[in-house]
Chain A
Amino acid sequence: MSSLLGARVQRVEDDRLIRGHGAYLDDLGAGALAAAFVRSPHAHARITDIDVSAAVDVPGLVAIYTYADLTGRLTEPLPLLIPHPSLTHGRTPYPLANGEVNHVGEAVAMVIAADRYVAEDAADLVDVSYEPLPAVVGIEAARAATQLVHEDVPGNLAANETQEHGDAAAAIAAAPHVLELDLEIERSASTPLEGRGVLADWDDQAARLRMWTSTQTSTGVRAAVAAKLRLDLSQVDVITPDVGGGFGVKIVHPWPEEVLIPWAARLLGRPVKFTEDRREHFISSAHERGQLHHVTVGYDDDGRILGLNVRFWHDNGAYVPYGIIVPIVTSTQLLGPYKPPAYRVEFDSLYTNTVLVTPYRGAGRPHACFVMERTMDAIAAERGLDRALVRERNFIQPDEMPYDQGLIFQDGRPLIYDSGDYPGLLRKVKDLIGWDAFPAAQAAAAAEGRRIGIGLACYVEGTGVGPYEGAHVVVETSGKVKVATGLTTQGQGHQTVLAQITADELGVPLHDVEVVTGDTRRFGYAVGTFASRTAVMSGSAVALAARKAKDKALRVAADALEVAAADLEITDGVVQVKGDPDSGIGLGTVAVLSNPLRYAFDAAAAAATQFAGGTDMDKPPVAPDDEPGIEGRAYFSPVRSTFASGVHAAIVETDRQTAEVTILRYCVVHDCGTLINPRIVEGQIHGGVAQGVGGALYERMAYDETGQLLNASFMDFLMPYASEVPRRLEIDHLETPSPLNPLGIKGAGEAGVIPGAAVLAAAIEDAEGIQIRSMPISPSDLFELRGASGASGGP
């Protein structure tokens, strides 16, 4: 019945962007003063002196600020956004270091100058004296706690959290078979091509701050800045320009620069801009993924899990401004599509003298999937069973939905899966990759001296977390429809998919719909873009708002046409009696009719006069319960998250001599409920898989023992180029609509990345016959594993 929902329409965003007419943060604010930061070269040190005397002589310098210069609430530590009862020792940084630095890259002084070149000149001349302290680097060092990151945090322990359903220890003790595994995932990072950036302009006459920031939440930044600068919310506008990728790192707020730049702009009475450079992004933004896990699993002869106990250690870096969301997600999403009757999980979240850790696409799920899927493979290997069969035996079945995992999820609500068909996903991926025929292919390759292996990995992903998003839809007298939602966009095609939903609900052409995101002037209440939530949350809100606008349009048109609203429909932007195209009024004309103030400024107003009926002089022009205009405003707030799912399967070849891993095939079967735009969903999967491959084979943050990040550049941090991604991705969909929102949508943004490390570890293990317990795995790592396991390294 709907024409645009599910259509592979081209993106409405693209024309501007491919002509070079995008407006990213650093494209704005021509002539603004520029900020550069003096950042700590030490991982852990006390600041004994800051001497700016040489710097102040630099021509073009405007100001230098250190902690001592900060005023008001800027002297306090930055907020801890998401407190948690288990987070007993939450520590956050000051906007500028207050006597101590806890990671290389921490901001110590802010320099404002005529341009960035000059600001960097002056920053270089700021002489900071440090008294170095021992650095805590890596999970083992943090756990050993012979040195402390924060003096007042014993054991470097920010948080300890346990969840359990059933009695895991008893179930494992009673199980016929028990396995123990140690599993590790190393650090990577979001690494968007555009770093962070902030531009602020204070209007002294109006006493208003306007700021632009490359963020995943403009409303969050607005609230933070208003609080920090002691302004009313209504004095602060935050606008998200085009954003060159986020992947999680830009959901953190406020970054030190997001409060310092507006503070300085107000103080100086000049616009001020900060544009992060690439090295700064590596050492001053955020990383993710570093975790160690110890698994104890008890199971029966058929490979059915009876009890699962997971103990893990999370490296949260120097500070926890975003709380402990990442390990909480790992601990709850670890179960995937499976239903162990007893599960216990306990984690320690530990401080280290490294860049802070906040969600990166997948946010704890890639590690969770790696742990669970490696466990499944280990059980299958020990039992001598087919790996797909073991998974099938442990699946939650479709008729068991909704399924309560007996845990509390990241949103503080019960972890209840709403819907899904995991056996269906597995069947599809087995067919797609040819699972059952693979042993023959493997034997044939072996006969040629080639090592190939196959693996698969399943995941379930909580998406569309609350608490809410809203949307506003207004029909202009031109017939154009303007939509606003508060969350922000970093390239996911929100303008297109939200326009598709609007056009579909309202019955207007797609090109008549214009969507604005992330501008607090247009929509003030919003949460942000993370956790694959835009399609679910804002998509639902837009649908509800469009329905309200439609109801109003039908009511106004029904009055004008003197028919019942129920007999009307909207087709191609025209309200008409159902099945009678000659009876129509354009939506723009309806918008004119909805407003009793009718200056004939345009053709729609002139056209509307023919519909102007008799006026009841005993009633006000706008009824007490009515409003002028054709508008709808609605919020969507689901009872809990909806759960997308999928299975990836891959075939790899490992080089007998160089130990290089080549991905021969990569298959994805994916269920994100109702597909709004398959082209865009596939694009999300493509990008996610590339990041998954990067995390599995190439990307790691190489810290030395003193806390120096040795590969803080694109030369040394190996993000995949086109030559590193699978030649072709084979994608199939399953659509199990969510019962929790009006369109049946589940999120799709993070799905592609989640099983990357798990599926490639499985395939490499199958090719090599060597247990893979740590990812990423480089050719050198694999070569060394071969040596350690006594496997042959060469022909």
Chain B
Amino acid sequence: MSAHDGANGAELHEVRLTVNGAARTALVPARRLLSDCIRHDLRLTGTHVGCEHGVCGACTILLDGAPVRSCLLLAVSADGADITTVEGLAEPDGSLSPVQQAFAECHGLQCGYCTPGFLTTITAGLRETPDPDEEQARDMIGGNLCRCTGYQNILAAVRRAAEITRERAAGPEGRS
């Protein structure tokens, strides 16, 4: 489906996405970035834009489970994709995910602007490397920029998140 009623009369394209488990549809011009579509069309403003050229990682989302920079994709090219943004990271009961909880426990954020990109990146990273050592943790966040924290507490949060994941898997008696 397409229409001609964009902000400048441009042709609009329908993009169907599954976002944080819910079916969503957006009508966008062909040039609309996925990051702008998520933020301004779907109004999920937790995904932040720090550089618009794929370097800082703030806009990282999970696209079919893989971390990608939503500022480097056109929304139309994501048609049919399953997307997880920071708003979709919490557990179904609303409690914090292990990565989110670890960030709170370890003071892993200051201004919070880059944080959504780190949270999504680490969420995917821990699926591949569930028990990262220090170097693996550093590699995991090696493509994301943070100007506030100096990364020390983010690195601590990566490893703490792995620990929380294990604690939760072990059940209530396994928690410290």
A277 proximity list for chain B (CB < 8 A): 52
Give the bracket for the number of chain A residues in contact with chain B.
Answer: 35 or more
A193 proximity list for chain B (CB < 8 A): 48, 50, 56, 58, 111, 113-114, 145-148
Name the distance in Å between A316's Cβ and chain B's nearest Cβ: 24
In the assembled complex, A500 has its CB within 8 A of some CB on chain B: no
A60 proximity list for chain B (CB < 8 A): 6-9
B155, A17: Cβ atoms closer than 8 Å: no
Interface with A: B74-82, B96-104, B125-133, B163-171, which one? Answer: B96-104
In the assembled complex, A278 has its CB within 8 A of some CB on chain B: yes
B8, A194: Cβ atoms closer than 8 Å: no
B7, A114: Cβ atoms closer than 8 Å: yes
A278, B50: Cβ atoms closer than 8 Å: yes
B112, A244: Cβ atoms closer than 8 Å: yes
B46, A30: Cβ atoms closer than 8 Å: no
24 contacts between A and B (CB under 8 A): A10-B107, A17-B112, A18-B96, A20-B116, A21-B46, A23-B45, A24-B45, A59-B8, A117-B29, A243-B111, A244-B112, A278-B52, A491-B109, A491-B148, A679-B107, A683-B149, A686-B152, A714-B145, A719-B147, A721-B144, A722-B154, A723-B138, A728-B152, A752-B150
Majority SS at the chain B contact face: loop
B105 proximity list for chain A (CB < 8 A): 10
- A567–B72 CA distance with the chains assembled, in angstroms: 66
Name the distance in Å between B61's Cβ and chain A's nearest Cβ: 11
In the assembled complex, A113 has its CB within 8 A of some CB on chain B: yes
Contact with B along A23-67 (1 / 0, CB 8 A): 110110010000000000000000000000000001110000000
The contact of B155 among A20, A23, A118, A722, by CB within 8 Å, is A722
A27 proximity list for chain B (CB < 8 A): 39, 45
A24, B144: Cβ atoms closer than 8 Å: no
B111, A14: Cβ atoms closer than 8 Å: no
Interface with B: A687-695, A736-744, A761-769, which one? Answer: A687-695
B56, A714: Cβ atoms closer than 8 Å: yes
A722 touching B138 in the complex, CB below 8 Å, given contacts A245-B148, A491-B148: yes
Query: Considering the complex of A and B, which 6 residue pairs feature the smallest CB-CB distances, nearest first?
Result: A20-B46, A491-B111, A244-B113, A690-B150, A17-B112, A20-B86
- A23–B44 CA distance with the chains assembled, in angstroms: 11
Q: Which residue of B lies closest to A243 (CB)?
A: B111
- A10–B100 CA distance with the chains assembled, in angstroms: 13
A714, B53: Cβ atoms closer than 8 Å: yes
B113, A117: Cβ atoms closer than 8 Å: no
Q: Which residue of B lies closest to A489 (CB)?
A: B111
- A58–B7 CA distance with the chains assembled, in angstroms: 10
B113, A118: Cβ atoms closer than 8 Å: no
A721 proximity list for chain B (CB < 8 A): 142-145, 151
The contact of A14 among B53, B109, B134, B146, by CB within 8 Å, is B109
A113 touching B7 in the complex, CB below 8 Å, given contacts A21-B46, A245-B148, A690-B151: yes
Known: A193-B114, A244-B112. 16 other contacts (CB 8 A): A18-B109, A18-B115, A21-B87, A60-B8, A60-B9, A114-B8, A193-B58, A193-B113, A244-B48, A493-B110, A683-B107, A687-B150, A713-B51, A714-B55, A715-B53, A722-B151
